[in-house]
């Protein structure tokens, strides 16, 4: 079925026109001689732009939702969000996973409410339409009286989405049928990630989940900035050779590498990874909203979920080889501190970006990844979804 994207196009034209007007009218107080593609004031507080990002960035992206530890038995489910769209992934009777929009087909009510849970069927709390684990609409109370006997029940099943279990563990979802397969999505990182043995890592006993007064792109910019690390996370300077940072970006992924100091060893005795992988840390990014920090013995994932132009949720988990709760707590506390150092900084930037008169400066070499991500986001925002973006099978992954 061909979709009509005229409304999004009009929204985009309005955003571009208004941004141009703001830019022109507020020009001149700050006069940057060099061009900059870094995040600009009107990109963090424009609600129309935010709405467009929910369609054009998140409508065509793979987003990390959780992991298979929560999806062991038939009927186990996890819920999550792809931009503004709630989704649910459920373990099927045949052992496969299926993903759906977590919305009833009658009104927008949610169907699964816990971050992770178990169900026999999905019964809507509003008017009790009930769906099977495979998404089929099983029953409508008093269907004959409410709709008549000819109601096409078979056409009102849950709306399926694409689901990918990556590295035998991590669950990703995608609304678009046209987006590349997940392996292509993360192609530059794939060969190395296939070697980490992520399926052998276990989830640490708690996660970090907090909401901050920041725009999701402001966190993306910070997360792809290798320049601030030496100053904002000073305590890490003794374990990393900061000045030997290597910045890489390609396609939808980026990678900032810092070699470890001689006395800091995160190799966990492994010899099946390259010298570079064993002797340093990668801070990476997977478009549009995931920061993975992989090591030989653990994987940290930090996801930023957009809630509003000035509100984002930061959700972090650590997966690793150690069962030691004390060690897990130490590492989780360390991650919490790093997240706080970043979000404190970004919160301050956000407040100052409320001024339309300000213009940001050019990216340094070590902000190349951030620059790359800002360009990808703007490219997607400027590109309408395919007329048949949502046509085609969901089971090709």
Residues contributing to the site for Fe ion (CB under 5 A): 342
Q: Which does 109 bind (CB under 5 to 8 A by kind): ligand FES, Fe ion, none?
A: ligand FES
Pairing outcome for strands 253-259 and 280-286: antiparallel
Q: Is the dihedral of CA 366, 294, 183, 69 positive or negative?
A: negative
Q: Which does 120 bind (CB under 5 to 8 A by kind): Fe ion, ligand FES, none?
A: none
Closer residue to Fe ion (CB): 19 or 222: 222
> Are 308 and 195 contacting, i.e. CB atoms less than 8 angstroms apart?
no
Closer residue to Fe ion (CB): 38 or 268: 38
| Residue list 41-80, contact with ligand FES (CB under 6 A) | none
* DSSP conformation letters of 123-178: E-TTT--EE-TTS-EEE-TTHHHHH-TT--GGG-SPPEEEEEEETTTEEEEES-SS
CA–CA dist 240, 227 (Å, integer)? 13
Closer residue to Fe ion (CB): 43 or 342: 342
DSSP 240: B
Q: Which residue is nearest to Fe ion (CB)?
A: 342
CA–CA dist 304, 290 (Å, integer)? 7
| Residue list 174-213, contact with ligand FES (CB under 6 A) | none
Closer residue to Fe ion (CB): 46 or 342: 342
Minimum separation from the CB atom of position 391 to ligand FES (A): 25
| Residue list 73-132, contact with ligand FES (CB under 6 A) | 104, 106-107, 109, 124, 126-129
Q: Which does 10 bind (CB under 5 to 8 A by kind): Fe ion, ligand FES, none?
A: none
Q: Which two tokens stand for residue 200?
A: 């052998």
In sequence order, what are the residues at sequence separation of 6 or more whose Cβ sits closer than 8 angstroms to the Cβ of residue 51?
Answer: 11
Q: Is the N-terminal amide bond of 100 cis, ω within 30° of 0?
A: no
- First-last CA distance in the chain: 22
Closer residue to ligand FES (CB): 111 or 166: 111
> Are 250 and 231 contacting, i.e. CB atoms less than 8 angstroms apart?
no
Rounded to a whole number of angstroms, the CA Rg of the chain reads 22
30: three-class secondary structure by DSSP: coil
Minimum separation from the CB atom of position 277 to ligand FES (A): 49
Minimum separation from the CB atom of position 122 to ligand FES (A): 10
Q: Which does 124 bind (CB under 5 to 8 A by kind): Fe ion, ligand FES, none?
A: ligand FES
Minimum separation from the CB atom of position 223 to Fe ion (A): 7
Q: Decide if residue 3 touches ligand FES (CB under 6 A).
A: no
Minimum separation from the CB atom of position 3 to ligand FES (A): 23
Minimum separation from the CB atom of position 62 to ligand FES (A): 28
Closer residue to ligand FES (CB): 126 or 358: 126
Q: Which does 127 bind (CB under 5 to 8 A by kind): Fe ion, ligand FES, none?
A: ligand FES
Q: Which does 106 bind (CB under 5 to 8 A by kind): Fe ion, ligand FES, none?
A: ligand FES
> Are 328 and 318 contacting, i.e. CB atoms less than 8 angstroms apart?
yes
CA–CA dist 286, 288 (Å, integer)? 6
Minimum separation from the CB atom of position 124 to ligand FES (A): 3
Closer residue to ligand FES (CB): 126 or 231: 126
Q: Which does 342 bind (CB under 5 to 8 A by kind): Fe ion, ligand FES, none?
A: Fe ion
Minimum separation from the CB atom of position 58 to ligand FES (A): 23
Closer residue to ligand FES (CB): 86 or 306: 86
Which of 118, 68, 115, 50 shows the shortest CA–CA distance to 87? Answer: 115
Q: Is the dihedral of CA 363, 367, 370, 375 positive or negative?
A: positive
Minimum separation from the CB atom of position 82 to ligand FES (A): 20
Closer residue to Fe ion (CB): 89 or 374: 374
CA–CA dist 242, 237 (Å, integer)? 7
Positions that interact with ligand FES (CB under 6 A)? 104, 106-107, 109, 124, 126-129
């Amino acid at each position: 079925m061909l979709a009509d994207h005229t409304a999004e196009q009009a929204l985009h034209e309005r955003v571009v026109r208004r941004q141009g007007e703001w830019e022109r009218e507020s020009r001149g107080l700050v006069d940057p001689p060099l061009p900059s593609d870094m995040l600009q004031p009107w990109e963090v507080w424009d609600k129309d732009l935010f709405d467009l990002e929910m369609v054009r960035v998140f409508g065509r992206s793979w987003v990390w939702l959780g992991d298979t530890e929560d999806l062991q038995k038939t009927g186990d489910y996890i819920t999550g969000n792809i931009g503004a769209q709630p989704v649910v992934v459920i373990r099927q009777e045949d052992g496969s996973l299926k993903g759906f929009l977590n919305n009833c087909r009658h009104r927008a009510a949610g169907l699964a409410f816990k971050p992770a849970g178990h169900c026999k069927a999905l019964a809507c709390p509003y008017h009790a339409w009930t769906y099977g684990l495979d998404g089929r609409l099983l029953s409508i109370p008093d269907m004959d009286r409410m709709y008549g006997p000819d109601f096409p029940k078979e056409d009102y099943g849950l709306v399926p989405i694409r689901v990918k279990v990556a590295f035998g563990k991590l669950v990703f979802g995608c609304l678009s049928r046209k987006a590349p397969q997940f392996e292509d999505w993360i192609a530059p990182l794939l060969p190395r990630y296939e070697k980490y043995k992520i399926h052998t890592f276990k989830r640490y006993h708690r996660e970090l989940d907090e909401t901050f007064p920041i725009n999701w792109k402001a966190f993306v910019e910070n997360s792809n900035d290798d320049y601030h690390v030496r100053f904002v996370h000073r305590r890490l300077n003794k374990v990393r050779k900061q000045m030997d940072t290597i910045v890489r970006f390609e396609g939808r992924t980026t990678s900032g590498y810092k070699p470890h100091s001689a006395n800091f060893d995160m190799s966990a005795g492994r010899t099946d990874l390259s010298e570079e992988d064993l002797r340093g840390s990668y801070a990476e990014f997977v478009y549009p909203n995931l920061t993975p920090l992989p090591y030989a013995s653990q994987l940290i994932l930090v996801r930023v979920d957009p809630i509003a132009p000035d509100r984002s949720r930061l959700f972090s988990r650590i997966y690793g080889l150690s069962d030691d709760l004390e060690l897990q707590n130490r590492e989780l506390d360390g991650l919490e501190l790093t997240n706080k150092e970043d979000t404190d900084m970004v919160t301050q930037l956000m407040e100052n970006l409320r001024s339309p008169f300000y213009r940001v400066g050019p990216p340094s070499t070590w902000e190349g990844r951030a620059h790359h991500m800002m360009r990808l986001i703007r490219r997607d925002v400027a590109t309408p979804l395919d007329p048949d973006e949502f046509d085609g099978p969901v089971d090709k992954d």
